[in-house]
Amino acid sequence: MKTKLQFIAIALLLAVSTLVSCNKSDDSIQELKFSVNEPEVHTDGTEYSFGITSGGGVYKAEICPLNSYDKYATATVSGKTVTVKLVSERTKLQVTDQYGQQKDLIIRTTNSSLQAISFDIAMGYGFQNRGKFEWGSGEGYSILKSINPENAELMIKENGEYVANSLCPGSTVFVVKDSRGTVNFVRVTSFMGWNLENDNLSVDVESGFQYTFILKWGEGKVRVSDCSAELKNPWLLIQDENEFQRNKVLQVCANEGSTGKFFVELTDAANKKAIITLNAQIKTKNN
Domain ranges within the chain, ordered by starting residue: 33-112, 116-190, 193-281
Report the C-alpha gap between 40 and 112 in whole angstroms: 19
Domain 193-281 sits in CATH at: 2.60.40.2020
Q: State which residues of the chain have pLDDT below 70.
A: 1-27, 242-245, 284-287
Asked if 267 and 273 touch (Cβ cutoff 8 Å), the reply is yes
**Domain 33-112 fold:** Immunoglobulin-like (2.60.40)
pLDDT tens-place string over residues 174-214:
999 999 889 999 999 998 899 999 999 999 999 999 899 99
Two domains, one topology: 33-112 and 116-190? yes
Measured CA to CA, the distance from residue 184 to residue 120 in angstroms comes to: 11
Residue 84 three-state SS: strand
Residue 144 near residue 165 (C-beta atoms within 8 A): no
R_g (Cα) of the chain, nearest Å: 34
Angstrom distance (rounded) from CA 276 to CA 264:
5
**The dihedral of CA 239, 242, 243, 249: what is its sign?**
positive
Q: How far apart are alpha carbons 159 and 138 in whole angstroms?
A: 7
Fold of 116-190: Immunoglobulin-like (2.60.40)
| 135-149: pLDDT as tens digits | 888 899 999 999 999
**What 3-state class would DSSP assign to 130?**
strand
Determine the 3-state secondary structure of 116 from DSSP. coil
pTM above 0.75, yes or no: no
- Per-residue confidence (pLDDT) for residue 21, from 0 to 100: 41
**Phi and psi at residue 5, to the nearest 5°:** -65, -40
pLDDT given for residue 118 in this prediction:
79
Residue 144's closest CA among 87, 85, 84, 61? Answer: 87
